[in-house]
């Protein structure tokens, strides 16, 4: 979405169209996603293996995994993005990404930003009627709904999962913009938890790309404004519904660069769609918005004096602007809005909180990238958003990527309160990051435009090159982020992506990392210098869990700073169990014991408490060593003899010297009455 609703469009575009494809740009990087197998085949194959991943992740039998998409690197590594159901209910915000080696082994799991990935709720019986939730959705919408339906779901987007209604309200806003508003209503209390609109709208300059070449189609003796992959443009003739009429022409010379020809708006829309498709395919290795090789429809001449443009999940739609004389059909708008479609079909970033800012900035980033890619003399690439529309009436742009606060509302720097802002303004820090990582800090001129980008900490940043940073951010979006990711997740994912694409010691990685520091996003576990080594004498990474759910794999949720159970030291620990329901949870870490070791000891501190009674072991936690296909249980703890005081447990594992093993904690809880096993300060020391 590009916020602002009025303004003059500058310039005209006379388009001479010929049936020739757009030129290719630089090839995708070596670690870019592969184009084979097809997405449909990859999804089907991944779904067939979902049960194995379900087991490896230690999910309960109440949860099911549903493959959303698959990204395959050139070395065979797969990144499988799953949605989930719980007891047959769709889990909203329960998405996760599983990174798998070419052998199928799970390497890493990226859970969505709820309480450690847990999705279980105490009951799936609502206390609030669906009709009541639907009334809340209609009230939130603020227009007369044409359709208003609620669906019982599990909301796992933030915090503790809740039974909720996802109310979808459809209609048209007062400014003629269509709406598909989702309102999440707590099914126990009736409180509105969050809301977002599927239709993402905005404004931009029109008719400003000069004379362009289009890939049109000859049908009989008539040319269609449609290319070979299915990008096509229709005329709505002032309607607000329907598909519109396909633009056709007898001589394949389209428009006259002015609004006196209805074709002119169609030319700009088609050009923007073709260039955006070509950029994603030729530069990033993505085969169109939906990654299926098929283009999208663009509808022009929407409504009456409609001063906006929007992406609705399937197509682009453009209004004719004030007085129906300023069609909002520029390449900026096309690339920005269609990039919302790419985000929707990859990370699915929610349009609220930190994720909303990341979503909006992603469209600014790739809108800018496509503008540079198009390389139009009439509209050269720059880091100014909406610079041609004169929306402010004084020649200033809509947004500034080098210093977002120059627009009077956007933020330059990240803070913990950022997520409460409109996504247009919370997008500022990531836009700032993109400029700094691409070009660096301080004063410079790019394509004739002067910039002077400050940093939030006074540091100096050297740019890593815009084309490299584009690829880093696309990889982050497509395989590292989930629907409710934060700026901290973005930092971790982008540094990891830069390492995978260009190497830990590369200038690109350094620029990515320093630019995030420069916009005040705090450091996490990822670093261009490599991972932090374990303390002397301890082979385990993140042994006290203080870095969160890193280095350890397994079930989401046990590694937590939840204050319901105290850590022995610091604030993080591994809290297994405590559910009071049938649950299996695991955490594990692979480690190599040196062959020269004369002794090796595994130790940890354990605290446990239970609501069970008697001498029957209803709930258990096993400490195991996995050596290839052999799993050895070193000890089993249960509700019997639970001890809330932290107690040191130690085991001799010298027999595994010279081997790579996994240290594993496996918890099984029965259907009622909780038992909590809390592990902290682990160690695998050798001498």
The catalytic residues are 337, 424
Contact indicator for 304, 325 with CB cutoff of 8 Å: no
Contact indicator for 473, 434 with CB cutoff of 8 Å: yes
- Dump the DSSP string for 474-485: HHIIIII--TT-
Query: Rounded distance, CA 78 to CA 107, Å?
Result: 10
The residue behind tokens 């184009």 is 35
The residue behind tokens 């949605």 is 83
Query: Rounded distance, CA 298 to CA 358, Å?
Result: 25
Report helix, strand or coil for 146. Answer: coil
Joined together, the tokens standing for residue 549 give 């759910």
Q: How far lies 616's CA from each of 52, 661, 669, 670, in Å?
A: 31, 32, 13, 12
Which DSSP helix (H) or strand (E) runs through 360? helix 353-374
Contact indicator for 121, 86 with CB cutoff of 8 Å: yes
Q: How far lies 319's CA from each of 42, 264, 330, 542, 617, in Å?
A: 38, 13, 12, 54, 68
Q: How far lies 396's CA from each of 381, 388, 391, 401, 454, in Å?
A: 16, 9, 8, 13, 19
Number of helices (H), then strands (E), in the chain: 11, 33
Joined together, the tokens standing for residue 662 give 């996994």
Q: How far lies 73's CA from each of 32, 37, 284, 381, 522, in Å?
A: 6, 11, 12, 30, 29
> Could you tell me the end-to-end alpha-carbon distance of the chain, in angstroms, rounded to an integer?
59
DSSP category for residue 159:
B
Q: Residues 124, 125, 126, 129: is their CA dihedral positive or negative? A: positive
Joined together, the tokens standing for residue 16 give 């001479």
Neighbours of 252 (CB within 10 A): 17
Report helix, strand or coil for 489. Answer: helix
Joined together, the tokens standing for residue 561 give 């700073």
Contact indicator for 316, 277 with CB cutoff of 8 Å: no
Neighbours of 503 (CB within 10 A): 12
Query: Rounded distance, CA 591 to CA 664, Å?
Result: 11
Beta 147-155 vs 89-100: how paired, if at all? parallel
Of 197, 226, 125, residue with least CA distance to 352: 197
Beta bridge partners, 185, equal 165, 192
Query: Rounded distance, CA 91 to CA 96, Å?
Result: 11
Which DSSP helix (H) or strand (E) runs through 132? helix 130-141
Beta 297-302 vs 232-235: how paired, if at all? parallel
Phi, psi values for residue 138, rounded to 5°: -65, -40
Query: Rounded distance, CA 677 to CA 402, Å?
Result: 49
Neighbours of 437 (CB within 10 A): 31
């Amino acid at each position: 979405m590009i916020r602002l609703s009025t303004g003059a469009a500058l310039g005209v575009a006379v388009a001479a169209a010929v049936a020739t494809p757009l030129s290719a740009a630089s090839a995708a990087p070596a670690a870019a996603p592969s184009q084979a197998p097809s997405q449909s085949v990859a999804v089907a194959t991944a779904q067939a293996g979902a049960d194995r991943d379900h087991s490896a992740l230690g999910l309960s039998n109440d949860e099911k995994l549903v493959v959303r998409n698959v990204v395959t690197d050139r070395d065979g590594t797969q990144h499988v993005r799953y949605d989930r159901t719980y007891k047959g209910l769709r889990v909203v915000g329960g998405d996760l990404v599983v990174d798998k080696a070419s052998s199928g082994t799970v390497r890493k799991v990226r859970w969505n930003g709820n309480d450690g990935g847990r999705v279980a709720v105490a009951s799936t019986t609502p206390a609030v009627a669906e009709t009541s939730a639907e009334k809340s959705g209609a009230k939130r919408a603020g227009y007369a709904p044409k359709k208003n339906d609620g669906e019982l779901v599990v909301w796992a987007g933030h915090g503790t999962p809740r039974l909720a209604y996802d109310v979808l309200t459809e209609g048209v806003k007062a400014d003629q913009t269509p709406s598909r508003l989702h309102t999440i209503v707590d099914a126990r209390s009736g409180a509105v938890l969050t809301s977002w609109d599927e239709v993402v709208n905005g404004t931009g300059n029109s008719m400003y790309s000069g004379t362009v070449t289009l890939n049109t189609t000859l049908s009989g003796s008539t040319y269609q404004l449609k290319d070979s992959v299915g990008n096509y443009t229709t005329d709505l003739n002032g309607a607000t519904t329907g598909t519109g009429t396909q633009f056709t022409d007898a001589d394949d010379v389209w428009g006259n660069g002015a609004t006196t020809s209805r074709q002119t708006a169609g030319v700009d829309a088609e050009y923007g769609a073709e260039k955006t498709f070509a950029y994603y395919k030729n530069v990033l290795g993505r085969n169109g918005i939906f990654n299926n090789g098929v283009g999208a429809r663009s509808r022009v001449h929407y409504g009456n004096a409609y001063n906006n443009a929007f992406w609705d999940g399937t197509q682009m739609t453009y209004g004719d602007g004030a007085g129906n004389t300023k069609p909002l059909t520029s390449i900026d708008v096309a690339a920005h809005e269609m990039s919302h479609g790419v985000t929707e079909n990859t990370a699915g970033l929610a349009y609220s909180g930190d994720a909303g800012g990341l979503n909006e900035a992603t469209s600014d980033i790739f809108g800018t990238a496509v503008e540079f890619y198009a390389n139009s003399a009439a509209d050269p690439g720059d880091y100014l958003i909406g610079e041609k529309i004169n929306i402010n009436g004084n020649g200033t742009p809509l947004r500034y990527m080098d210093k977002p606060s120059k627009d009077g509302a956007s933020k330059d720097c990240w803070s913990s309160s950022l997520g409460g802002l409109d996504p247009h303004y919370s997008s500022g820090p990531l836009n700032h990051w993109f400029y700094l990582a691409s070009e660096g800090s301080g004063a410079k001129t790019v394509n004739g435009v002067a910039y002077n980008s400050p940093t939030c900490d006074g540091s100096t940043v050297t740019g890593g090159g815009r084309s490299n940073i584009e690829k880093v951010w696309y990889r982050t979006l497509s395989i590292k982020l989930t629907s409710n990711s934060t700026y901290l997740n973005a930092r971790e994912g982008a540094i990891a992506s830069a390492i995978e694409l260009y190497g830990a010691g590369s200038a690109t990685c350094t620029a990515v990392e320093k630019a995030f520091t420069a916009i005040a996003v705090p450091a996490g576990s990822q670093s261009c210098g490599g991972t932090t080594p374990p303390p002397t004498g301890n082979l385990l990474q993140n042994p006290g869990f203080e870095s969160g759910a890193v280095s350890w794999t397994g079930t989401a949720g046990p590694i937590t700073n939840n204050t319901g159970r105290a850590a022995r030291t610091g604030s993080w620990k591994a809290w297994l169990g405590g559910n009071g329901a049938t649950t299996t949870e695991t955490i594990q870490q692979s480690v190599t014991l040196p062959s020269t070791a004369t002794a090796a000891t595994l130790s940890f501190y354990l605290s446990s408490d239970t609501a069970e009674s008697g001498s029957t072991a209803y709930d258990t936690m096993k400490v195991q060593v996995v050596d290839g296909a052999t799993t050895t249980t070193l000890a089993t703890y249960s509700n019997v003899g639970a001890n809330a005081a932290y107690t040191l447990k130690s085991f001799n594992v010298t027999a595994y010297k010279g081997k790579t093993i996994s240290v594993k904690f496996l918890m099984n809880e029965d259907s009622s009455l909780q038992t909590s096993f809390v592990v902290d300060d682990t160690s695998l020391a050798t001498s």
